[in-house]
Structure 1
Amino acid sequence: MEPKWLQWAKQLQSIAQAGLTYSKDVYDLERFELIREISIDIVEKHTDLDKTIIKNLFASETGYATPKVDVRAAVFKEGKILMVQERAEGDWSLPGGWADIGLTPGEVAVKEVKEEAGFDVKPVKLIAVTDNKRHPHPPSLYHVYKLFILCEIVGGQAAVSVETSAVKFFAEDELPKLSVARNTKSQIEMAFRFLKNPDEPVYFD
């Protein structure tokens, strides 16, 4: 799904970050700094991003490198799925966002639905854990896992936020233009499969 150069750049960045975290030898540290610079140069060569931005987004973390986690809530009402229109670009997505330190995945789903759509929900079931590289998301500097959690409405009402400009339920055959960085058509269809078949096993990868 993503170009090979981006895979290589992310792998080099991961190796460099681990090396800079755990190495003690001054010469090894210099080598890992060089590897990090090479990863930045690769991204700079293939994008129009400024090198400083790449460093801040891509090569400024410390500690062992791990994937980022994005949590998405699948909320249904009368056979239709809840979606929010992203204020930034006008496309639609399931309510959700980056996982927060200190919150469980279910708590993140509850928080995101309330903040982005206005509804109070309770998490019911984990339905999928996906890796962005296995799905038709646009290329990203981050390696991302997505958790899809089936949620049930228990209160509240539709309301927009600073991040969202509209809140609406959609049938499977009337999906709007999707924000594919956040969710793909096949992932929305997967959520509908779980609605129709609650015993569907959790999807992964």
Structure 2
Amino acid sequence: MEDKWLAWAKQLQSIAQAGLTYSKDSYDLERFQQIRDMSVEIMSGHTGTEMKLIEELFANETGYATPKVDIRAVIIKDDHILMVRGKMDGRWALPGGWADIGLSPTEVAVKEAKEESGFEVRAIRLLAVHDKKFHPHPPSPYHVYKLFIQCEIIGGQAAIGAETSEVKFFSENDLPEELSIERNTESQIRMAFRLSREKEQVECD
């Protein structure tokens, strides 16, 4: 479960962002900016990250605050799941990334699979929708929904991309130790195997 301080910081940031967007009174705008500054201080104090970086990552958006959407392509072939090693952290994850404006979730899954692994895939069905705060990911400044979309290979071949350094299939009993838990946890990988065998089930939390 998400730490209380992180939940409070996100809530304060959300309140501040909405207030700065919709308020007209100069005194209210000043108060909402103070609330935003407090949320940044909380994040900085608990993570040891410089406030300027927190402001750039955490308090840089305008408009009504909504969750971000992270989409992961689940590609299983011969009881082995496709994973890619990221260049930034050197760890393994399902192909995927943030949802893109103008693309559907399935289009994002197909695009990310091609860019990160070299394989052309077709989206089959939604396996699961997770709220990141209910799973053992590292603390994140954003409220994130994670969509796991099952895909099947229809062409292409394994090839690294701009953000990946290795492409490999893993069996359920031989998963890599160096998982990028910011992107996917071991329990989510095992869930993907399980739900891929349960043809009608979609898991939501």
TM over 0.5: yes
SS in 2 for 1:173: coil
> Post-superposition shift, 1:2?
2.8
Alignment of 1:12-161 (within 5 A): 12-161=12-161
Contact 1:86 / 1:163 at 8 angstroms: preserved in 2? yes
Report whether the alignment pairs 1:169 with 2:169. Answer: yes
Q: CA deviation at 1:79?
A: 1.1
Which stretches of structure 1, 4 residues or more, deviate above 2 A after TM superposition?
Answer: none
Whole-angstrom CA distance in 2 between matches of 1:163 and 1:60:
24
Q: Indicate conservation of the 8 Å contact 1:2/1:138, yes or no.
A: no
- Secondary structure of the residue that 2:184 maps to in structure 1? coil
Q: Measure the CA separation in 2 of the matches of 1:197 and 1:166.
A: 29
| Counterpart-to-counterpart distance in 1, 2:188 and 2:8 | 26
* SS state at 1:182 partner: coil
Partner Cα distance (2:28, 2:87) in 1? 46
The percent identity for this pair of structures is 65
Distance 2:89 2:29 in 1: 41
Q: Distance in 2 between matches of 1:133 and 1:126?
A: 20
Question: Alignment RMSD, CA only?
Answer: 0.9
Contact 1:23 1:29 (8 Å CA) reproduced: yes
Q: Name the CA distance, whole Å, in 2 between partners of 1:196 and 1:109.
A: 20
Aligned-pair CA distance for 1:171: 0.7
Q: Distance in 1 between matches of 2:134 and 2:195?
A: 20
Contact 2:68 2:144 in 1 (8 A): yes
**Which letter does structure 2 place at the counterpart of 1:13?**
Q
CA distance in 1, matches of 2:12, 2:123: 37
Q: Which runs of 5+ in 1 are unaligned?
A: none
- Distance in 1, matches of 2:67 and 2:21, equals 17
**Match of residue 192 from structure 1:** 193
Q: TM-score, normalised by structure 1?
A: 0.97
Amino acid in the other structure paired with 1:73: A
1:89: how far off? 1.8
Per mean C-alpha deviation after superposition, the further-off stretch among 99-108 and 83-92 is 83-92
SS at match of 1:174: coil
Q: Which amino acid counterpart does residue 24 of structure 2 have in structure 1?
A: K
